[in-house]
A and B are shown apart, each in its own frame.
Chain A
Amino acid sequence: MGDRASNGRTAVERISELELVVTRTFNGPVRLVFDAWTKPELFKLWWAPKSMGVPLLSCEMDVRTGGSYRITFGHGAADAMAFFGKYLDVSPPSRLVWTNDEGGEEGAVTTVTFEEENGRTLLMLRELYPSKEALDQSFVGMEDAMPEQFEQLDELLITLSASM
């Protein structure tokens, strides 16, 4: 079904006009993987990896059904971007569902399921969008900022100005 991209580790597939599914297997028991998604001090360590180029500024998570979260990215207050929403379902250690309210009417609902198999954890993340257009134009994070390219451009500009 649909398009699939996989390097054998992270597979991403658009399973319908409204849904995107990401799957990956982690080499650890489900309780540890679930902890890494639900304890802010651990979540902070991986949600904004270096290669994204945009650091995590703050991370508040009240991980329980009905609780809310707020995550901000940026280099400082001036360019900070906030992502926030509510946990619709927190069922340790197998299921997490949250809303992405920064998208307003077009915000997706994210469902993450965790399944243990022989000490490994199969993770499936599903984003369900309210409309086809919302998914077409979704920005999971900062992908369109292409930070690597900006960094390269910065370096190029430094090189150029040094040689002027």
Chain B
Amino acid sequence: MVQFSTTRLDASFAALSDATRRGVLEQLGSADASITELAENFHMTLTGMKKHIGVLEQAGLVTTEKVGRVRTCRLGTRGLEEEAAWIEARRQIWNARFDALDDVIEALKRKEKVDGGQSE
């Protein structure tokens, strides 16, 4: 049974709809970073970046931790698991169908060869 909460999915898809936020996730995928560092890297104001991080945090894609005066961001652990499961469930269905369709197409090609290239 594929289970997911629609609300969380909505938040995730909304969070991923912005190019900067996707860039931030990509960067956090290679290393944790502070909000200040991210703001500099993406040429944004601190306030702008804080907003983006807030959206990502809401969606569970990023977690932040404040140590002293620095807030460090890292990828959320449960980030895309549900979305990945949701997509994968659908991919399995189509993949099974299309593997079977491959066989049908192979059979049709063989039949055409036998019939001397005459299609029905």
A residues touching B (Cβ–Cβ < 8 Å)? 2-7, 9-14, 17, 20, 22, 24, 26-28, 31-33, 35-36, 42, 45-47, 49-52, 125, 132-133, 136-137, 140-144, 146
Contacts and interface: CB of A to CB of B under 8 A. Distances in A.
Given A36-B105, A136-B9, A49 B94 contact: no
A3 B84 contact: yes
The main secondary structure of chain A at its interface with chain B is mixed
Given A32-B108, A52-B96, A146-B1, A140 B102 contact: no
9 contacts: A22-B91, A27-B102, A32-B105, A36-B101, A36-B105, A46-B97, A46-B104, A52-B97, A144-B1
Interface in B1-50: 1-2, 4, 6, 9-10, 13, 16
Contacts, number: 108
A7 B95 contact: yes
B118 interface: no
Interface of B: 1-2, 4, 6, 9-10, 13, 16, 80, 83-84, 86-106, 108-109, 112, 119-120
Contacts of A28: 105-106, 108-109
Given A31-B119, A36-B105, A46-B101, A24 B92 contact: no
Contacts of A143: 2, 89-90, 92-93
Contacts of A20: 90
The main secondary structure of chain B at its interface with chain A is helix
Contacts of A49: 96-97, 99-100
A24 B95 CA distance: 9
Contacts of A125: 94
